């Protein structure tokens, strides 16, 4: 069943202890769509400027099952661009520059052919924009959003209205604590469920993730450290969300067990993403490699 994603398409410049990459394809939409496409057809809604490199379009088009019919090209505008440097501890990074470009303009329009989408993921952007997009899918079966500390700080009322209408939310443990004033991930997740969603996924980095669902609680570990080399952590969280939502869309279910299994898919796809700069590792990936790593991870994590 098709899965629709909205969010950013960007041009990234990345510096890490493992090397650097200039002007590579990035953005939440790109990583999410690439990861999810291994599990379900993906409909992408986003915007780029006239400076968006043609090889970026070719790379994104190269992922089977990704429709770019909702990707707007605005010739007179600039594409969102971000530069970052990872420290020796690659859990820490500093932003070198941010050029908002098309993000300062009106959000992209949802094509009429996409409005029957049943599975919707609202990538990180202003919650008022997310809510406007959400209401364009009257037949949705499940809608999940991402958010960040900025919106919790400056757009809390809009975020709370969004949470009343979505089925799920994905955020990290610091954001969950900031939103709820609860330090414990389970307590924070329960508080967010009381705000409206049926489930919350709290990402805890190297400590895995916690799922708080109206029907129960589940946890999943991170992918074992040392199992592969980390080249570039950029996009890991978006790939994680893509794997999670891809599994939900593929099964058509959103019960506790299905979402827990989706966390495993997300963890495995994120583990591939970080093995190269940008989307290069995902672009060379095949389903057999994913299945093999998933089975190995399931044995370690003891999830089905």
- Give 226-251 pLDDT, tens digit per residue: 667 899 999 999 999 999 999 999 99
Long-range contacts made by residues 222-225, C-beta under 8 angstroms, separation at least 24?
222/267, 223/267, 223/268, 223/270, 223/271, 223/297, 224/300
Distance CA 84, CA 81 (A): 10
Q: Would you state the torsion angle of the CA atoms of residues 25, 201, 262, 225, taken in this order, to the nearest 10 degrees?
A: 70
pLDDT, position 207 = 87
Residue 237, helix vs strand vs coil: helix
Tokens of 302: 């003891």
When pLDDT is averaged across residues 287-292 and rounded to a whole number, the result is 96
pLDDT, position 227 = 63
β-bridge mates for residue 67, sequence order: 43
pLDDT, position 301 = 76
Distance CA 228, CA 226 (A): 5
Q: What is the band of 276 on the pLDDT scale with cuts at 50, 70, 90?
A: very high
Tokens of 29: 């939409």
Residue 54 CA: distances (Å) to CA of 57, 58, 59, 156, 200: 5, 6, 9, 38, 37
For the chain, the domain total comes to 1
Residue 62, helix vs strand vs coil: coil
pLDDT surpasses 60 at 304: no
Question: Residue written as tokens 């493992």?
Answer: 18
pLDDT, position 294 = 96
Q: Angle, nearest 10°, between helix axes 256-273 and 287-301?
A: 120
Tokens of 39: 């599990």
pLDDT surpasses 80 at 142: yes
CATH of the domain at 168: 3.40.1190.20
Q: What is the tens place of the pLDDT at every residue in 44-102?
A: 999 999 999 999 999 999 999 999 999 999 999 999 999 999 999 888 899 999 999 99
Distance CA 35, CA 230 (A): 17
Instruction: Judge whether 260 and 291 are in contact, CB under 8 Å.
Output: no
The single-letter DSSP state of residue 102 is G
pLDDT, position 1 = 82
User: Model pTM?
Assistant: 0.95
The Cβ-side half-sphere exposure at 94, using a 13 Å CA radius, reads: 3
Average pLDDT, the chain: 95
Sign of CA dihedral 13, 80, 265, 34: negative
- Enclosing domain of residue 241: 3-301
Residue 35: closest CA among 235, 256, 288, 257 = 235
When pLDDT is averaged across residues 23-34 and rounded to a whole number, the result is 97
């Amino acid at each position: 069943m098709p899965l629709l994603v909205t969010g950013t398409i960007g041009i990234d410049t990345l510096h890490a202890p493992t090397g650097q990459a200039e002007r590579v394809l990035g953005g939440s939409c790109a990583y999410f769509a690439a990861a999810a496409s291994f599990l379900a057809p993906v409909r992408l809604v986003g915007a780029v400027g006239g400076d968006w490199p043609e090889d970026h379009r070719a790379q994104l088009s190269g992922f089977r099952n990704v429709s770019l019919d909702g990707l707007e090209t605005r010739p007179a505008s600039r594409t969102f661009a971000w530069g970052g440097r990872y420290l020796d501890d690659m859990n820490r990074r500093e932003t070198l520059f941010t050029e908002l470009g098309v993000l300062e303009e009106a959000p992209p329009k949802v094509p009429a052919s996409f409005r029957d989408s049943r599975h919707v993921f609202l990538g990180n952007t202003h919650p008022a924009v997310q809510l406007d997009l959400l209401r364009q899918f009257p037949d949705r079966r499940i809608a999940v959003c991402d958010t960040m500390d900025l919106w919790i700080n400056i757009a809390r009322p809009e975020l709370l209205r969004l949470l009343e209408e979505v089925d799920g939310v994905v955020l990290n443990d610091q954001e969950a604590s900031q939103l709820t004033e609860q330090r414990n991930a389970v307590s924070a997740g329960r508080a967010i469920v009381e705000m409206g969603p049926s489930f919350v996924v709290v990402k805890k980095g190297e400590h895995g993730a916690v799922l708080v669902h109206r029907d129960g609680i589940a946890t999943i570990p991170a992918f074992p450290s040392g199992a592969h080399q980390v080249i570039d952590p950029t996009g890991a969280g978006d790939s994680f969300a893509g794997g999670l939502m891809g599994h939900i869309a593929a099964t058509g279910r959103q019960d506790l067990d299905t979402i827990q299994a989706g966390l495993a898919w997300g963890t495995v796809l994120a583990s591939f993403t970080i093995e190269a700069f940008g989307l290069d590792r995902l672009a060379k990936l095949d389903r057999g490699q994913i299945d093999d790593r998933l089975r190995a991870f399931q044995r370690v994590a003891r999830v089905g």
